[in-house]
Amino acid sequence: MAVVLKSHEEIEKMRRAGRVVREVLELVRSHVKPGATTLDLEKVAEARLKELGAKPAFKGYHGYPCVLCTSVNSEVVHGIPSKKRVLKEGDIVSVDFGAVIDGFYGDSAITVPVGDKIAPVTEKLLRVTEESLKAGIAVVKPGATLGDIGAAVQQVVEAEGFSVVRDFVGHGIGSQMHEEPQVPNYGQPGKGMKLRSGMVIAIEPMVNIGGPDVRVLKDGWTAVTDDGSMSAHFEHTVAVTDTGARILTE
Ligand code: MF3
Ligand code: CO
């Protein structure tokens, strides 16, 4: 499978999916508070998605059971919403969400603090991870390479003493949630595939306070840090245009 370039019309469909993703994520953000369960967040998202007339991207994907991934603290990605998972003051929760409209996908993630008593290092983790995503997006233009994106993300993260997860990467996206190419959050400037106008990619840094290693729990989905350190995740779906990046999920 090669990279699939998107037409203007297809990118407009992806923008519609991206708007739905943004609206649902912001609604979910407003429901993150101490005492809420991750299943509460799932229900909020599923109800709003239905109202907006879009389909979930994740539910049913390789048997994944929910519309959201909710990954708390040392959970990196793919945490499954559960009524047993009660959010508490000082936690962070990554909320990852994808939607499909007219056969085209949008995919985005945010990591949200729970309550207002967040440890300074945790606050820094959120800030640095979001900044690393912005740095990766900032280098996107025709002729730039995947290595340029990875290097930009990695530079921001490692300059602050945190580490980039290697075992999961971003991806091309379009009429499939996962298309070529893979988009690592590490790399060397000038290396890797060149970006072209019409490519659409999901850039999604996963950043740990401690080491980069992760493992998957027995549920077959939840990825956690090996050392138990906190992890954050931010993601946008981004189109490569003649003039640079267009973020489709903002
Ligand atoms: N944003 C994640 C990804 O790009 C969401 C996939 S979760 C899954 O892989 F449940 F759908 F697998
Ligand atoms: Co993704």
Task: Please tell me the predicted confidence (pLDDT) of residue 131.
Answer: 98
Per-residue pLDDT tens over the stretch 185-242: 999 999 999 999 999 999 999 999 999 999 999 999 999 999 999 999 999 999 999 9
For the chain, give every domain's residue range.
8-247
Q: Where are the beta strands (DSSP E) in the chain?
A: 55-56, 68-72, 75-77, 92-101, 104-113, 163-164, 170-172, 179-183, 200-203, 206-208, 214-216, 223-225, 231-233, 236-241, 244-247
Task: Please tell me the predicted confidence (pLDDT) of residue 20.
Answer: 98
Ligand 1: does its nearest atom lie under 6 Å from the Cβ of 78? yes
d(CA 124, CA 195): 31
Per-residue pLDDT tens over the stretch 140-151: 999 999 999 999
Task: Please tell me the predicted confidence (pLDDT) of residue 39.
Answer: 99
Cα 90 to averaged position of ligand 1 atoms, centre (Å): 25
CA-only gyration radius of the chain, Å:
17
Cα 63 to averaged position of ligand 2 atoms, centre (Å): 16
Nearest ligand for residue 78 CA: 1
Cα 62 to averaged position of ligand 1 atoms, centre (Å): 10
Cα 58 to averaged position of ligand 1 atoms, centre (Å): 6
Ligand 1: does its nearest atom lie under 6 Å from the Cβ of 107? yes
Ligand 1: does its nearest atom lie under 6 Å from the Cβ of 69? yes
Say which CATH topology domain 8-247 has.
Answer: Creatine Amidinohydrolase (3.90.230)
Per-residue pLDDT tens over the stretch 19-56: 999 999 999 999 999 999 999 999 999 999 999 999 99
Cα 78 to averaged position of ligand 1 atoms, centre (Å): 7
Ligand 1: does its nearest atom lie under 6 Å from the Cβ of 168? no
> How do strand 236-241 and strand 244-247 relate by DSSP bridges?
antiparallel
- How many residues belong to the chain? 250
Task: Please tell me the predicted confidence (pLDDT) of residue 84.
Answer: 98
Question: Contact at 8 Å (CB) between 137 and 236?
Answer: yes
d(CA 148, CA 167): 19
Per-residue pLDDT tens over the stretch 78-129: 999 999 999 999 999 999 999 999 999 999 999 999 999 999 999 999 999 9
Q: Give the angle subtended at the CA of 245 by the CAs of 240 and 249, to the nearest 5°.
A: 100
Task: Please tell me the predicted confidence (pLDDT) of residue 160.
Answer: 98
Mutational test site, ligand 1, from 78, 133, 178, 203, max ligand atoms within 8 Å of CB: 78
